[in-house]
Amino acid sequence: MSKNRLLEELAAIFAQKQRQLYVAALAITRERSSAEDSVHDALLAIAALQQRPQNLEAYLYRTVRNKALHRLKHTNRFDRNINPGDFLDVQECSSSQKILANQVIERLSTLEENSRQTLIMKLFADLTFAEIANIMESSPNTAASWYHRSIEKLKEEMYEQQF
């Protein structure tokens, strides 16, 4: 397969899945610009390949997630405080909803990595378990299991804190 064909395919996948790619990255970085950069990094990395990966879409998701993790690891510790406005769209929320959003964002850090990403993609981006499984290279059942575990953990965290 020619290099140009690879780029065409890449462009076509991006056109179809740009939202999912962005969500996958944002679920890791929890910061908009880093998420966008992670997707761009991944596109560039794949465009430079000499051989087409067997499953280009899966490879793209994996590369996006790796790039996002890489960016997260290399973020200055002092810059890791998540600005809610760079993660969740809370502009039209009431103050109490914003407070709840802040509390949830704080507690997301207590969740295990896969569970956290699944919860973010399911709850805040409304992706299906099948879509999440595709991104996470897992099965829908496993994704559902991660999700339910994360919800229960989040509930415990929030209620124990408050009562």
Partner 1 sequence: MNSNSNDDPSELERELSAFTLVKPTPGYATRAEELLVAQQETRRKFWLPYAGLATAALVLVAAVIGLPKLWEERTAIDNQLVDNSSFSIPEVTAQLQRSYESGVHYQELEPPIPLEEMTEDEIRYYFSYHCNPCYQFEEILEEWYEPELDEFSFIRIPAIWSDEMRHYAQVFFLAEEFGVLDRAHGLIFESLHESGERLDDLPSLIRFFSRLGISQPRVIAMFNSEEMMERVRETEQSNRDYSVQSTPMLVVNRRYMVQPNQEVGQTQMLRIAEYLVENQ
Give the binding site for partner 1 (CB under 8 A). 3-4, 7-8, 10-12, 14-16, 18-19, 22-23, 26, 32-33, 35-36, 39-40, 43-44, 47-48, 85-90, 93-97, 99-101, 103-104, 120, 123-126, 151-152, 154-156, 158-160, 162-163
Nearest-approach distance from CB 36 to partner 1, in angstroms:
5
Nearest-approach distance from CB 153 to partner 1, in angstroms:
11
Q: Between residues 14 and 53, which has the closer beta carbon with respect to partner 1?
A: 14
Q: Between residues 8 and 112, which has the closer beta carbon with respect to partner 1?
A: 8
Quote the radius of gyration of the chain (alpha carbons, Å): 17
Distance between CA atoms of residues 109 and 26, nearest Å: 14
Q: Give every CB contact of residue 153 below 8 A, 6+ residues apart in sequence.
A: 110, 111, 115
Nearest-approach distance from CB 65 to partner 1, in angstroms:
16
Which of 60, 41, 9, 59 lies closest to 1, judged by CA?
Answer: 9
* Residues 76/33, Cβ–Cβ less than 8 Å: no
Nearest-approach distance from CB 94 to partner 1, in angstroms:
7
Looking up tokens 């899966």 gives 58
* Residues 128/143, Cβ–Cβ less than 8 Å: no
Nearest-approach distance from CB 157 to partner 1, in angstroms:
11
Q: Which two tokens stand for residue 129?
A: 């378990």
